[in-house]
Amino acid sequence: MSDEAVGGDALLAATAEAAAPRANVLEVTPLELGGGERIADELQHWRLRRDADGVYWALLDQTGTAANTLNEPVLEELERIVERVRSDRPPGLVLRSAKPAGFAAGADIGMFRGLTDPVRVRELVERGHRVVNALADLDLPTVALIHGHCLGGGLELALACRYRFARRDASLGFPEVQLGLHPGLGGTARLPALVRPDEALKLMLTGRSISAERARSLGLIDAVAEERHFARAVQLAVAGQVERRGGGAAVRGMTLGPARMLVARQARSETAKRAREEHYPAPYRLLDLWERHGGSVDDMLRHEPASFAELLTGETAQNLVRVYFLREALRGRGKGRPSAIHRVHVIGAGTMGGDIAAWCAHRGLVTTLEDREARLIAPAIARATELFERRYDDRRARQAAHDRLVPDPSGAGRRKADLVIEAVPEDLELKRRIFGELEGQVKDGALLASNTSGLLLQDIGQGLRRPERLIGLHFFNPVARMQLVEVVRHPALDPALLARALAFVLELDRLPVPVQSAPGFLVNRILSPYLLEAVLLLDEGVAAERVDAAAEAFGMPMGPAALADQVGLDIALEVGEGLRATVEPTLPEVPEWVRRKVADGHLGVKSGRGIYEYEGGTRKKRKAPESADPAHIDRLMLPMVNTAVTCLGEGIVDDADALDAAMVFGTGFAPFRGGPLHYARERGPEALRRRLEELAEQHGPRFRPSPYWSRVFAAAAGEPPAAPDAPPAAPPQP
Ligand code: NAD
């Protein structure tokens, strides 16, 4: 480092004052990078150029993708570039992306699918390590120029460079933990050597991304710079005139024995609050690595591949990778033509309508919100204000979202809307009346949607002149948190409008799953037997905490007693009764004490008392956690699996993957188990069927295996699909 070294802040000033900029690859065409001398023709995914100073620029531009990801071909070519740099010895090497989306979005997750052999995975990872280590070992200035996403493997490449400069729009992070992994290309070793290990671990354990500014303050990058200053920043770095921010004595001190153990202990106890080791091992393996080897970067680098390979070939990571692709598949259903919906009108400003309208405004749509009186709209606007406060730092953007949400007690917005969403109480006559009125008011191409959670679209649409433009858009509560939307179709629906509705849900940044209009649709139908079984366990005298502990031990984010309180005992009772009267005749009656609670107004969280007691929406006096009884786990979870089989058999949903995805994103069904049908396949359909028969003998016919059991699992095993045993349940009338 020269005597004139400058820090990141000074760098900005220095570059701003820099002498007349010379023609440079970046200044010629910032992202297309057409300038400079091209010096390698044989590369598919990188472009290698030499600028006027002789510095090599390796520009990542993966073929056939909008965002760069790291896979074997990309790394192989990088290896060739590094070899070339080693023999040509240019004054410096720059790594950056030629794609507007960002530096690199991480590993190509497709590579992770179906890997079962840890030895082979370890070899693959070690090969990747050799490339990244060779980059890190170059004894000339290497600079990563970062914009947009710089995640996972992308950040690991940047970490292997000597300098990192980022544009203000950069977002950096290690999301691997969300896939049941920890970083695998040297990140676990290089990050804690650069930024304070407690902060480094937090980044890797939570998977959260950080802004360029935050990354600079942590020492992860050396400077935040404007695009126009990048070229000068490279010149200064190559000249050794940039002071690096990361590392230092404070960081090193925390890697030493006792300090390291303390950091690990604290991180372990934070982790234990969020995830159980038996469900999500990755954070714990990362902490093991750090505890045992964190004193030496080389040691960490040596041990990372084996730990990564164990995780990647384990059940949790494989199922989380599966869930990643399930989400992509749901998103795929909404892709294609845009919805052409720009104005939305929502009728009913209650819990759901108010929040749906706020979310639409947040997503950029002009949204009018109607209720019977202006005062009934006010609470929804107040909630929207809170949502916008949380979502926008920028005052003008927040105000713009506000301006898009228009209280409309007179219903003037009905005539201008491209989509009307009805969210009035669950009353068939009321809904029919409203859609009847709407037919004469809305524009010709407008879509009419109901947020009903259980009424059949065929019934709501009865008497309409054009029932083909009525659809169900079943949002879940709370709208801002729940990603799934059931898009409910019925025989009269126009398929073109279904496609528009699916696109609209995706434009709202929600996940659409098409389902048939049958009692309970999909998610509530599958969830009801689970909630009912919990109530029956309570009826047998099992403590609510113990019932919830069983579901949590399985991996549910919340036990069924807590969930019933959250949904509202009144609503859970109504849905359960409706299903028993229609499609689920083997369900027993809901115990009398539940009816009494509902009659007395003890409805759950919303009334301050249900199965548990609440104060300000939070549970009062929590008892010490109860241990889970494995028999309870089966009693709670297998009815869900069994009903899932029936729903697939009845054709309520198109395929098993859509069903699994709906349960993961609509109810939080243990993601690391990959969905209820996948869980059944992993545990063994035949063993499960026998277990259900055993439970039926002990507890009654509600446990009898679904009549669709063999057909569903034979199809899953790749046998040709048999003719349906029975036509999809003709939706019985409630
Ligand atoms: P809610 O009682 O909170 O809100 C209904 C709103 O509709 C009230 O503000 C009421 O004043 C208004 N309203 C009544 N008649 C009206 C009319 N003629 N014109 C305009 N507004 C009128 O109910 P909610 O919980 O928001 O449920 C609404 C719909 O969403 C129901 O069909 C329900 O089944 C469904 N849903 C509810 C949930 C949930 O968790 N609450 C979840 C999914 C779906």
Ligand 1: centre distance to CA 351 (Å): 7
- Count CB neighbours of 553 within 10 A: 19
Alpha helices in 89-211 (DSSP H): 118-137, 153-159, 187-194, 197-206
Quick one: pLDDT at residue 715? 67
Q: Given the CA of residue 568, which atom of ligand 1 is nearest to it?
A: 40
Quick one: pLDDT at residue 36? 65
Quick one: pLDDT at residue 733? 29
Q: What does the alpha-carbon distance between residue 231 and residue 21 come to, in Å, rounded to a whole number?
A: 8
* Model confidence, pTM: 0.90
Q: Is 156 a catalytic residue?
A: yes
Question: For 23, which DSSP code?
Answer: P
CB 66, CB 98: distance < 8 Å: no
Token pair in block for residue 547? 């019932």
Which residues are within 8 A (CB) of 84 and not within 5 positions of it... i.e. 6 or more apart?
40, 48
Cα–Cα distance list, 265 to 251, 279, 295, 482, 703 (Å): 17, 20, 15, 33, 44
Ligand 1: centre distance to CA 18 (Å): 62
Query: Which among 565, 556, 634 is positioned nearest to 594, based on CA atoms?
Result: 565
Token pair in block for residue 618? 């939070």
Quick one: pLDDT at residue 717? 62
Quick one: pLDDT at residue 315? 96
Q: What does the alpha-carbon distance between residue 255 and residue 294 come to, in Å, rounded to a whole number?
A: 6
| Selected catalytic residue, list 176, 486, 533, 552 | 176
Quick one: pLDDT at residue 714? 86
Q: Which long-range contacts (CB under 8 A, 24 or more apart) does 474-478 make?
A: 474/521, 475/352, 475/355, 475/356, 475/451, 475/510, 476/523, 476/666, 477/351, 477/352, 477/355, 477/567, 478/355
Token pair in block for residue 316? 């949790």
HEC string for 238-256: HCCCECCCCCCHHHHHCCC
Q: Residue 629, SS3?
A: coil
Q: Given the CA of residue 452, which atom of ligand 1 is nearest to it?
A: 32
Token match 């494995």: residue? 630
Query: Which among 308, 293, 307 is positioned nearest to 189, based on CA atoms?
Result: 293
C-alpha count within 13 angstroms, C-beta hemisphere, residue 97: 31
For ligand 1, atom 9: residue with the closest CA:
350
CB 520, CB 561: distance < 8 Å: no
Ligand 1: centre distance to CA 646 (Å): 30
Cα–Cα distance list, 614 to 21, 129, 350, 567 (Å): 65, 52, 22, 14
Q: Residue 379, SS3?
A: helix
| Selected catalytic residue, list 27, 32, 126, 156 | 156
Q: Residue 279, SS3?
A: coil
Quick one: pLDDT at residue 535? 96
Ligand 1 shell residues, CB under 6 Å: 347-353, 370-372, 376, 423-426, 451-453, 475, 477
Q: Is 42 a catalytic residue?
A: no
Name the residue of 345, 359, 370, 371 whose CB sits within 8 Å of the most ligand 1 atoms, as the mutation to test its pocket.
Answer: 371
Token pair in block for residue 492? 């009269």
> 102-104 and 149-151 as β-strands: parallel, antiparallel, unpaired?
parallel
Quick one: pLDDT at residue 34? 44
pLDDT along the chain (734 residues), means of 10: 42 41 38 59 91 94 95 96 96 96 94 94 96 98 97 98 97 97 98 96 97 96 94 95 88 90 95 94 98 96 98 97 97 93 98 97 98 97 97 94 98 98 96 97 97 95 96 96 97 96 98 97 96 96 95 95 94 91 91 96 95 92 79 97 97 97 96 97 96 97 96 71 40 29
Q: Given the CA of residue 354, which atom of ligand 1 is nearest to it?
A: 26
Q: What does the alpha-carbon distance between residue 527 and residue 390 come to, in Å, rounded to a whole number?
A: 31
Task: Name the burial class of residue 276, with classes exposed (0-12), middle (13-18) and buried (19+) by CB atoms within 10 angstroms of its CB.
Answer: middle
